[in-house]
Structure 1
Amino acid sequence: MTSETFTNRYLVAGNYAPLQEETSTSALPVTGELPRELNGRYLRIGPNPRGDVDPATHHWFNGAGMVHGIRLRDGRAEWYRSRFVESERGAPNTNVLSHAGRILTLIEAGRPPVEISPDLDRMAVWDCDGALSRGFTAHPKVDPATGDLYAITYNPRHSSLRYVVLGADGAARHSSDIDVDDGPMVHDMALTETRVVVLDLPVTLAAARRLAQSGGPLTRLPLTWDDDHPARIGILPIGGTAAQVRWIEAPRCFVFHVLNAFDNADGSLTMDVIRYDRMFVRDVWGPSDSEPTLVRWTVNTARGSVNEEVISEYRVEFPRVDPALTGRAHRYGWFAGFSAHGLMITDDVERDPADGFGTGPLVRVDTRTGDTTVHDYGPGRVTMEPAFVPRPDAVCEDDGWILSVVHDAHADRAELVVLDAADLGAAPVARVHLPHRVPFGFHGNWIDDDELA
């Protein structure tokens, strides 16, 4: 296969195609009424390749990051800005969040965060005084009680994972190296009030190297499904070391994202995760080998076993929970519904990898009952990852708003849409009209002004 005969949908297809220019626009038009309590920035990031890229080898996960920011204040949408992430040590493209007064752009597999200023115009590598010199992760977890940030990091140049804890003040508090075989891809982790959970699943660097040596397909993402690598999770105390890790066999699958996890009174723990039966087998350009399924893992640490139950038959991805419940028992999760050709998938359908990965409506799942509520944004309109923002002095778990960027394929433009999290059947509270489309990417977060004070 050559670049002359192959069309890579992640470079040219609709809203996957990268943008070529940065944008700055002020006084954005709004339909509806923005809640005056929303004072801050909604930031979103994704890969945006620049220059010549070989479509035969390009993977969706590659490419310099582009940050998209919408500034809200006092009921107004003051500006939209898009900026390429630039630094002397790479351009993270996977997540953007705040910690210890800093806005950080993140990526896994060896590169440290790049700090970006609140106006998106200044950037610099931030490696926490060398504590993150081996790189960081796309999905750290913040303990809402302490403000401490927990991460499981990996680096292709090292044979071990690194467990890192950063304090609420941004200083490194703890680290421990955890030996693993084959160089597994560790995109996410789980955190409870007392424990950290490591995901060691069968997508590895070693398998990709074996495939390349045997003449298999070559992509710029050196990771693939590994039939020889076991699926397991490692559990250690929240401030523990490698010597305290307890390894337990897990269902054979791959997990990009964890909704949440929590301790149970009997000593077990619960994890809600999005599982894939296989990953990077047929589709070497994106994550489309199998459909995502929301499941609950109940981990019996005394017996060393994991029981899996399907929570919802709806296919969903990009899970979000009320951040105040990270590591605590939760009821609701908000997701982007997974779609193929614009249709919600509710059963196992064999798909062509050329279809790629796609999202659809917003989905809320009651993890206790399995009940599912869907907000359809309209024909040709699909959501990206949602973010739950609680109201000040919220009195229940869904007392807040859902913010997400929605792509309108008919207009080829994007909107920041605000929904009432407790009433998804209602029309949007507000729609902020952006000047152009925002390419399908990965993750985004609401950053309140108070977080940067």
Structure 2
Amino acid sequence: MTNRYLEHNYAPLAAESYATGLPVTGALPRELNGRYLRIGPNPRGGIDPATHHWFRGAGMVHGVRLRDGHAEWYRSRFVESEQGAPNTNIVSHAGRLLTLIEAGKPPVAISPDLAEMAVWDCDGALGRGFTAHPKVDPVTGEMHAMTYHPGFSTVRYVVLGPDGTAVHTSDIEVADGPMVHDMALTQTRVVVLDLPVTFAAAKRRMQAGQPVSDLPFTWDERHPSRIGILPVHGTAEQVRWVETPRGFVFHVLNAFDNPDGTLTMDVVRYSEMFARDVRGPGDATPTLVRWVVNPDRGTVREEVISDHRVEFPRVDPALTGRPHRYGWFAGFSSRGLLITDDVRRDPAEGFGTGPLVKVDTKNGKTETFGYGDGRVTMEPAFVPRPDATAEDDGWILSVVHDATTDRADLVVVDAADLSAVATVHLPSRIPFGFHGNWVADAELY
């Protein structure tokens, strides 16, 4: 049996790699001193194509070291530990590089050269697991997270201080074991996503003899679509639940408070998820929408921001929880998936590139940057220029898969006018994965 999440550039790599003195086309900005890091699932044997889900498997982290206008090295490493295999995100906090996964596993800290790694559970505070998408307040330096475990009937709100210690936790009751991939943070509030992809639905499907994958979550017609809003450092007793338009959200672009007491959330929403394609996100196409949430009235007003199919939203991290104008995204195919070799061979679909997409959320103006025929961008990361005076004054860094060579590049694009700046040519391909971030030297030393 075939499984598209094991084919073409979804297929795992068999071995780790290391290379130095990487060739560069164009001129790398000398201000980029740090590492571009990304991670994704990379299964290592024992795979059953009939049940394998794209989100499963050992993590493999990929890193590119930039310094003084040079690309010094590329390295890939498997990330595994006795307590699990983080495969979803890699972030920096309190001087640590943390590889992350949701649903019950603690982070694994990895050294800046990617050579050493060890479980880090914040002195036991993260023993029940962490999340793939914590949010860092750019003013306080606190890291906010909504963590969960399929075996528990709660979502745990956790706050880590800027020094990496746990400063607040609160358990929030939820039904059915929902998948909580992301969260939202404003200056004064945090938002829990309680949406209809659940562990309970997967269990019912398994008991009924229906197709399931090795990811224990499926679409749940019985579960509501709602969000819970509580104050920063709040407790379960303060949560206000608000029903949202029916669907599922993997990723939040950003959120912010409004003067009238409402809050705004820009999210990528799907009408359903894991309902028919139980092995990956192939059920529906993503839509970028804005939710204006009134907690007092218990209402959500939704409007579509852009008609482009986009995912992996990114905003200037200095504006996390604050009003923003621009978002950068990876462009998607009509099936809501990263464009693969088999899609490229269907000219009737009109595919061939997976562009970078920039959206002005104030007026809906959408611009794209194409990387070339057969070239597909993965998640973009925005890096502000030192002393930037505009929200989009900086660069976009992303890994681009080239199906014509079966290799990857790290591409730098001007974030304001979407012009090409430089391309670092990598020695191998990087499988379609999940999340990547730029980590400046100053964040680690």
TM-score normalised by structure 2 residue count: 0.96
In 1, distance between residues paired with 2:429 and 2:29?
24
Residue of structure 2 equivalent to 1:363: 357
Question: 1:47-446 counterparts in 2 under 5 A?
Answer: 47-340=41-334, 360-424=354-418, 426=419, 428-446=420-438
Residue by residue, what CA displacement relative to the aligned partner does 1:178-210 show, whole Å, maximum 9, x if unpaired?
000000000000000000000000000001101
Query: Is residue 437 of structure 2 the alignment partner of residue 449 of structure 1?
Result: no
In 2, distance between residues paired with 1:65 and 1:234?
31
Flag the 1:343–1:252 CA change in 2: closer, same or farther, 3 A: closer
Residue of structure 2 equivalent to 1:7: 2
Residue by residue, what CA displacement relative to the aligned partner does 1:87-140 show, whole Å, maximum 9, x if unpaired?
111110000010000000000000000000000010000000000000000000
Supply the AA of the counterpart residue of 2:203.
R
**SS in structure 1 of the partner of residue 164 of structure 2:** coil
Given that residues 402 and 421 in structure 1 are in contact (C-alpha distance below 8 angstroms), is that contact kept between their aligned partners in structure 2? yes
Residue of structure 1 equivalent to 2:33: 39
How much does 1:294 deviate? 0.1
In 1, distance between residues paired with 2:225 and 2:429?
39
Residue of structure 1 equivalent to 2:14: 20
Residue of structure 1 equivalent to 2:346: none
Given that residues 398 and 411 in structure 2 are in contact (C-alpha distance below 8 angstroms), is that contact kept between their aligned partners in structure 1? yes
Given that residues 359 and 384 in structure 1 are in contact (C-alpha distance below 8 angstroms), is that contact kept between their aligned partners in structure 2? no
List runs of 5+ in structure 1 lacking aligned partners. 1-5, 346-354
Residue of structure 2 equivalent to 1:3: none
List runs of 5+ in structure 2 lacking aligned partners. 340-348
In 2, distance between residues paired with 1:172 and 1:129?
9
In 1, distance between residues paired with 2:155 and 2:292?
24
Identical-pair percentage: 75
In 1, distance between residues paired with 2:263 and 2:199?
29
Given that residues 115 and 123 in structure 1 are in contact (C-alpha distance below 8 angstroms), is that contact kept between their aligned partners in structure 2? yes
**SS in structure 2 of the partner of residue 429 of structure 1:** strand
Residue by residue, what CA displacement relative to the aligned partner does 1:124-176 show, whole Å, maximum 9, x if unpaired?
00000000000000000000001100000001121111000000000000000
**SS in structure 1 of the partner of residue 155 of structure 2:** strand
In 1, distance between residues paired with 2:400 and 2:321?
29
Flag the 1:199–1:343 CA change in 2: closer, same or farther, 3 A: closer
In 2, distance between residues paired with 1:104 and 1:65?
12
TM-score normalised by structure 1 residue count: 0.94
In 2, distance between residues paired with 1:442 and 1:344?
11
How much does 1:212 deviate? 0.5
Residue by residue, what CA displacement relative to the aligned partner does 1:12-44 show, whole Å, maximum 9, x if unpaired?
x21111000100100000000000000000001
Supply the AA of the counterpart residue of 2:99.
T
How much does 1:359 deviate? 8.1
Question: Number of matched residues?
Answer: 435
After TM superposition, which residue ranges in structure 1, 4 or more long, deviate above 2 angstroms? 340-345
In 2, distance between residues paired with 1:341 and 1:90?
31
Supply the AA of the counterpart residue of 2:205.
L
Given that residues 343 and 360 in structure 1 are in contact (C-alpha distance below 8 angstroms), is that contact kept between their aligned partners in structure 2? no
In 2, distance between residues paired with 1:295 and 1:359?
24
Given that residues 282 and 337 in structure 2 are in contact (C-alpha distance below 8 angstroms), is that contact kept between their aligned partners in structure 1? no
How much does 1:218 deviate? 2.2
In 1, distance between residues paired with 2:126 and 2:320?
23
Supply the AA of the counterpart residue of 2:222.
D
Flag the 1:100–1:54 CA change in 2: closer, same or farther, 3 A: same
Supply the AA of the counterpart residue of 1:337.
G
Flag the 1:183–1:234 CA change in 2: closer, same or farther, 3 A: same
How much does 1:300 deviate? 1.0
How much does 1:423 deviate? 1.1
How much does 1:65 deviate? 0.2
Given that residues 282 and 335 in structure 2 are in contact (C-alpha distance below 8 angstroms), is that contact kept between their aligned partners in structure 1? no
Residue of structure 1 equivalent to 2:345: none
In 1, distance between residues paired with 2:336 and 2:24?
26
Given that residues 266 and 288 in structure 2 are in contact (C-alpha distance below 8 angstroms), is that contact kept between their aligned partners in structure 1? yes
Residue of structure 2 equivalent to 1:351: none
Residue by residue, what CA displacement relative to the aligned partner does 1:364-388 show, whole Å, maximum 9, x if unpaired?
0000000000000010001000000
In 2, distance between residues paired with 1:299 and 1:52?
45
How much does 1:340 deviate? 4.3
How much does 1:343 deviate? 11
Given that residues 65 and 94 in structure 1 are in contact (C-alpha distance below 8 angstroms), is that contact kept between their aligned partners in structure 2? yes
Supply the AA of the counterpart residue of 1:10.
Y
Supply the AA of the counterpart residue of 1:29.
P
